[in-house]
Chains A and B, each alone.
Chain A
Amino acid sequence: MKVDIASHPRLEQTLGALLHYGTLLASSVIASGLALSLGVGATGLRVATAGLVLFILLPVVRVAAMLILFLRAREYKFGAIAALVMSIILLSFFLGTP
Chain B
Amino acid sequence: MNGSLELWLFAVALGTSLLGGLLGMASGIFIVPILTIFGRIDLHTAIGASLISVIACSCAGAAPFLRDRLTNIRLAILLETATTLGALCGVFVAGLIPPKYLFVIFALILLLSAQQMAARRKEPPRAELPRAKLAGAILSGAWDRDLGYAVQRLPLGMALMYGAGLISALLGIGSGVLKIPAMDTALRLPIKVSSATSNFMIGVTAAASAGAYFARGEILAPVAAPIALGSVVGAVLGARILMKVPNDKLRLMFVCILVILSAQMMLAAFGINLIEAAP
Nearest neighbor of B207 in chain A, beta-carbon distance? A59
Q: What residue of chain B has the Cβ atom nearest to residue A58's Cβ?
A: B59
Total count of chain B residues near the partner, CB < 8 A: 52
**Are A38 and B225 in contact, with the CB atoms below 8 A?**
no
Q: For this complex, into which size category does the number of interface residues on chain A fall?
A: 35 or more
Closest A residue, CB atoms, query B67: A16
Residues of A within 8 A of B228 (CB): 26-27, 30, 51-52, 55
A13 vs chain B, min Cβ distance (A): 7
Per-position binary interface string of chain B over residues 1-44, scored 1 when its CB falls under 8 Å from any chain A CB and 0 otherwise: 10100100000000000000000000000000000000000000
Contact B55 A15 (CB under 8 A): no
Assess the B63–A19 pair: CB atoms within 8 A.
Answer: yes
Known: A12-B67, A20-B63, A37-B1. A78 touches B229 (CB 8 A): no
Q: A63 CA to B119 CA in the complex, in Å?
A: 34
Q: What is the bound-complex CA distance between A75 and B211, given in angstroms?
A: 29
| Contacts of A65-94 to chain B: CB distance below 8 A | 66, 75, 77-78, 81-82, 84-85, 88-89, 91-93
A interface with B by C-beta (< 8 Å): 10-13, 15-17, 19-20, 22-23, 26-27, 30-31, 33-34, 37-38, 41, 45-46, 48-49, 51-53, 55-60, 62-63, 66, 75, 77-78, 81-82, 84-85, 88-89, 91-93, 95-98
Q: A38-B3, A58-B207, A96-B211 are in contact. List 6 more A-B contacts (CB 8 A).
A: A26-B59, A48-B221, A51-B228, A78-B142, A92-B88, A92-B208
